[in-house]
């Protein structure tokens, strides 16, 4: 299915360009961390790649046209007003998988995220960390080839962040291509194989994580890594 | 005050004595209104969800018309259906005038916009919450509507109960198409109108209290049966 090629891609909202023009090729590998200050276009870039954002100009094309096996985890986890187990089974029911297959997948993932004891409780009663873990497991239950995550650990405590990072590293090891936005530089250093640095709707710099962190090329990234406020 | 006390006593007497006529008209009231609510809900709830999910050219106009129809004057609806269902009217051959089915039909017409409008409001809010997730999961339009209906069932129940409240308390339209015929089309509201006309305020009030009790009973029963206020799954 790779590479994903973005060519001269722009997104405009109410006459204002919020992303682009961007040229970018995403290939196998990763995890890729999209970093940058608030409002730099990280979320819009991920949404464009996943295909849930309307493109104003340019193209986003996968090598193979059938690229439905993506999953996306939103910054504020959306949980269905159903039980935890039903939230997990939902993506498989949508693609009409057989009941025994659904049951065993739900059983597996519910244990993976440690929510076995609350399987039959309403997901709306979960804590923020539990909701995010549920959202990630729900995204992974279809064994996606690509997993997009939009700042999945913002607003979470240290323990939940660690659990989610462990889950993501295992997922990447199992072969899922992870593309994730974060403004937590510690997290980017822990997880990233390569980095895309966004600034004002453009890709200001990109490269392998060790190179980007040790020798940032642009003054913006140097300032960002120092912790300066970028406007 | 005296009239109200007498009315309460009359209601108690009717209930304690298991008054056969009271039971008959109460059951008919329930039968007519519940049938109308069920049929109207089957149409109105998916329609409300469809309007929330689907964008089309005249969507805003349709929503405006639907909201405007919530204020349909029941007497006018009754009059129109009287003409349509009367022997010389286009549907006269069905022989529905002055039957409970005529009453059900006018109630459906009156409450469908109410249920659809409240359903649409609830579904719109839920759709705003679910939009990105359901698009991201590649769901079909029908799967989205089904998901909204199932997950919004609590709010839809409220929409159904609002329709039931309007239906069970309706008098103008069903009086015209039902005719308030004893042992045939008399229901609580038309009986109240009749007794008031005859000047028997105590009995009219008594029937009124029975009507209020019946509406409360149905509301509480449905909430209890569907466990909306319990812990857990909702």
Partners of A120 on chain B (C-beta within 8 Å) are 232-233
Distance, CA of A46 to CA of A61 (rounded, Å) = 14
For range A72-81, the mean pLDDT: 93
Give the CATH number for residue A213.
3.40.50.300
> What range does the domain containing A75 cover?
4-79+126-226
Q: Summarize pLDDT for A9-53 with one digit per residue, the tens.
A: 999 999 899 998 999 999 888 799 999 998 899 999 999 999 999
The pTM is what?
Answer: 0.85
CB B214 within 8 A of CB B30: yes
Q: Which whole-number Å values give the CA distances from B155 to A161, B106, B117, B195, in the listed order?
A: 35, 24, 12, 37
Q: Do A94 and B130 touch (CB under 8 A)?
A: no
Residue-level pLDDT at B58 = 94
Percentage of residues in chain A having pLDDT higher than 70: 98
Classify residue A91: in a domain, yes or no.
Answer: no
Instruction: Give the phi and the psi of residue A229 in degrees, each rounded to 5.
Output: -85, 125
- Across A157-161, A197-201, B108-112, least confident range: A157-161
Per-residue DSSP letters for B147-165? HHHHHTHHHHHHHHHHHHH
Distance, CA of B174 to CA of B32 (rounded, Å) = 10
Residues contacting B6, CB < 8 A, separation 6+: B201, B202, B205
Q: Do B138 and A78 touch (CB under 8 A)?
A: no
Neighbours of B5 (CB within 10 A): 11
Q: Which whole-number Å values give the CA distances from A37 to A48, A98, A180, A193, in the listed order?
A: 18, 44, 14, 20
B101 has pLDDT over 90: yes
Mean pLDDT for chain A overall: 91
Partners of A131 on chain B (C-beta within 8 Å) are none
Output the six-digit token pair for B36.
Answer: 């109308």
Instruction: Give the phi and the psi of residue A143 in degrees, each rounded to 5.
Output: 50, 60
Residue-level pLDDT at B232 = 47
Residues contacting A227, CB < 8 A, separation 6+: none
B223 has pLDDT over 90: no
Tell me whether residue B203 is exposed, middle or buried, using C-beta atoms within 10 angstroms of its C-beta: 0 to 12, 13 to 18, 19 or more.
buried
Q: Summarize pLDDT for B181-217 with one digit per residue, the tens.
A: 999 999 999 999 999 999 888 888 888 989 999 999 9
Instruction: Give the phi and the psi of residue B38 in degrees, each rounded to 5.
Output: -65, -50
Q: Do A91 and B137 touch (CB under 8 A)?
A: yes
- The angle, 0 to 180 degrees and rounded to 10, between the axes of the packed helices B20-53 and B100-136 is 30
Structure letter (DSSP) for residue B92:
G
The H or E element that residue A71 is part of is: strand A70-73
Classify residue A40: in a domain, yes or no.
Answer: yes
Partners of A74 on chain B (C-beta within 8 Å) are 132-133
For range A64-89, the mean pLDDT: 89
Classify residue A107: in a domain, yes or no.
Answer: no
> Which candidate from A78, A81, A121 shows the least CB-CB separation from B132?
A78
Kindly provide the ipTM of the predicted complex, given to two decimals: 0.89
Structural domain total, chain A: 1
- Across A170-179, A215-224, B9-18, B33-42, least confident range: B9-18
Classify residue A89: in a domain, yes or no.
Answer: no
For range A151-180, the mean pLDDT: 90
Q: Would you tell me which residues 59-98 of chain A have a C-beta closer than 8 angstroms to some C-beta of chain B? A: 68, 70-72, 74, 78, 80-83, 90-91, 94-95
Tell me whether residue B62 is exposed, middle or buried, using C-beta atoms within 10 angstroms of its C-beta: 0 to 12, 13 to 18, 19 or more.
middle
| Alpha-carbon dihedral sign for residues A146, A150, A156, A157 | positive
Output the six-digit token pair for A100.
Answer: 């025994």
Does A44 sit behind a cis peptide bond, omega within 30 degrees of 0 on the bond before it? no
What are the structural domains, with CATH classification, of chain B?
22-197 (1.10.3720.10)
Task: List the one residue out of A38, A140, A81 whose CA is nearest residue B234.
Answer: A81
């Amino acid at each position: 299915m790779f590479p994903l090629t973005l060519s001269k891609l722009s997104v405009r909202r109410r006459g204002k360009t919020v992303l682009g023009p961007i040229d970018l090729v995403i290939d196998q590998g990763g995890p890729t961390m999209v970093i940058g200050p608030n409002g730099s276009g990280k979320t819009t870039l991920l949404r464009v790649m996943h295909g849930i954002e309307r493109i104003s100009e340019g193209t986003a094309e996968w090598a193979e046209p059938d690229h439905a096996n993506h999953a996306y985890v939103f910054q504020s986890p959306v949980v269905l007003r159903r039980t935890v187990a039903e939230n997990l089974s939902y993506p498989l029911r949508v693609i009409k998988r057989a009941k025994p297959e659904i049951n065993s997948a739900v059983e597996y993932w519910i244990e993976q995220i440690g929510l076995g004891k609350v399987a039959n409780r309403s997901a709306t009663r979960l804590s923020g960390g539990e909701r995010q873990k549920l959202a990630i497991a729900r995204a992974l239950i279809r064994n996606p080839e690509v997993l997009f995550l939009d700042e999945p650990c913002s607003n979470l405590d240290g323990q939940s962040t660690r659990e989610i990072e462990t889950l993501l590293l295992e997922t990447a090891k199992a072969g899922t291509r992870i593309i994730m936005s974060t403004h937590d530089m510690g997290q980017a250093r822990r997880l990233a194989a390569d980095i895309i640095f966004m600034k004002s709707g453009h890709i200001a710099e990109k490269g392998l994580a060790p190179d980007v962190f040790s020798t940032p090329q642009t003054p913006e990234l140097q300032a960002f890594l120092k912790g300066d406020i970028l406007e | 005050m005296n009239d109200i006390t007498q009315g309460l006593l009359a209601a108690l007497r009717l209930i304690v004595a298991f008054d056969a006529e009271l039971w008959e008209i109460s059951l008919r009231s329930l039968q007519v209104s519940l049938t109308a609510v069920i049929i109207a809900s089957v149409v109105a709830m998916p329609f409300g969800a469809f309007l929330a999910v689907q964008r089309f050219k005249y969507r805003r106009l349709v929503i405006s018309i639907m909201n405007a129809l919530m204020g349909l004057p029941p007497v006018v609806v009754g009059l129109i259906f009287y003409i349509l269902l009367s022997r010389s009217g286009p549907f006269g051959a069905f022989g529905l005038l002055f039957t409970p089915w005529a009453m059900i039909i006018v109630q459906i017409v009156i409450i469908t916009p109410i249920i659809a409008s409240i359903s649409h409001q609830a579904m719109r809010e839920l759709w705003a919450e679910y939009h990105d997730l359901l698009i991201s999961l590649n769901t079909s339009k029908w799967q989205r509507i089904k998901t909204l209906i199932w997950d919004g069932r609590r709010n839809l129940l409220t929409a159904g109960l609002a329709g039931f409240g309007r239906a069970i308390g309706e008098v103008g339209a069903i009086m015209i198409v039902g005719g308030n015929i004893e042992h045939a089309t008399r229901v609580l509201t038309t009986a109240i109108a009749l007794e008031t006309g005859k000047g028997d305020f105590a009995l009219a009030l008594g029937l009124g209290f029975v009507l209020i009790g019946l509406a409360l009973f149905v509301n509480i029963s449905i909430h209890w049966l569907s466990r909306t206020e319990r812990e857990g799954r909702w």
